[in-house]
């Protein structure tokens, strides 16, 4: 990307998200935080590697987040609550920029991703039962063929193209990669 990534640009991109409809759905509602932090003059996306003991998506790289509890007032609350539970990030220390497009999963969830910023460095307090490690990818990597590729997969007897991101020997795919791709498209359009 030729234009320097900045909070005003990212905020503009997030605000331009047009809540695409996924139609009638019986998917379980979930909220995640797409966390950014600034380090060495560049913005980084904070991800985590899930443990092998969690119920869904064992060992996968994801955003902090999870299913909406009946006591959660909304999905932003869910995303912030889950982020605190999984990574020890205080909700008051997250500057929420807004929500981007919802993402359905093949495992029965409808994910509402919220973009937020936290200070760097941050002292994480990981839930040992849910999060194995914290990973960071440069936000600029979303626009680089060095990090991004397309994978072809078979679904319902047809081939589909899906984004994937690779960095430092880690591969991000599925809903997490689709959310990253959506963020990249919004930033490009802004």
Q: What is the CATH number of the domain that holds 144?
A: 3.90.79.10
Q: Does residue 158 sit within a domain?
A: yes
Q: Measured between alpha carbons, how far is 113 from 115 in angstroms, rounded to an integer? A: 7
According to the model, what pLDDT value does residue 107 have?
85
Q: Does residue 36 sit within a domain?
A: yes
Q: Measured between alpha carbons, how far is 34 from 32 in angstroms, rounded to an integer? A: 7
According to the model, what pLDDT value does residue 19 have?
67
**Whole-number average pLDDT of the chain:** 91
Q: Does residue 90 sit within a domain?
A: yes
Q: Are strands 158-167 and 148-155 parallel, antiparallel or unpaired?
A: antiparallel
The number of distinct structural domains making up the chain is: 1
According to the model, what pLDDT value does residue 23 have?
63
Q: Does residue 114 sit within a domain?
A: yes
* Positions in the chain whose pLDDT score sits under 50: 1-2
Q: Does residue 2 sit within a domain?
A: no
Q: Does residue 56 sit within a domain?
A: yes
Q: Does residue 177 sit within a domain?
A: yes
* Residue 13 phi, psi dihedral angles, 5° rounding: -60, -45
Peptide bond into 121 cis (omega under 30): yes
According to the model, what pLDDT value does residue 56 have?
76
Which residue range(s) make up the domain with 183?
7-189
């Amino acid at each position: 990307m030729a234009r320097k990534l900045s909070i005003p640009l990212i905020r503009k991109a997030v605000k331009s998200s047009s809540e695409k409809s996924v139609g009638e759905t019986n998917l379980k509602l979930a909220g995640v935080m797409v966390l950014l932090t600034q380090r060495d003059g560049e913005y980084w996306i904070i991800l985590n590697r899930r443990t092998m003991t969690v119920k869904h998506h064992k060992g996968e790289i994801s955003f902090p987040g999870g299913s909406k509890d009946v006591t959660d007032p909304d999905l932003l609350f869910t995303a912030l609550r889950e982020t605190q539970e999984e990574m020890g990030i205080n909700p008051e220390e997250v500057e929420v920029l807004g929500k981007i497009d919802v993402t359905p999963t093949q495992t029965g969830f409808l994910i509402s991703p919220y973009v937020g910023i936290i200070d760097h460095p941050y002292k994480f307090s990981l839930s040992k039962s849910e999060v194995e490690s914290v990973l960071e990818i440069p936000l600029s990597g979303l626009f680089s063929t060095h990090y991004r590729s397309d994978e072809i997969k078979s679904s319902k007897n047809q081939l589909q193209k899906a984004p994937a991101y690779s960095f430092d020997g880690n591969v991000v795919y599925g809903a997490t990669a689709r959310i990253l791709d959506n963020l990249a498209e919004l930033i490009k359009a802004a």
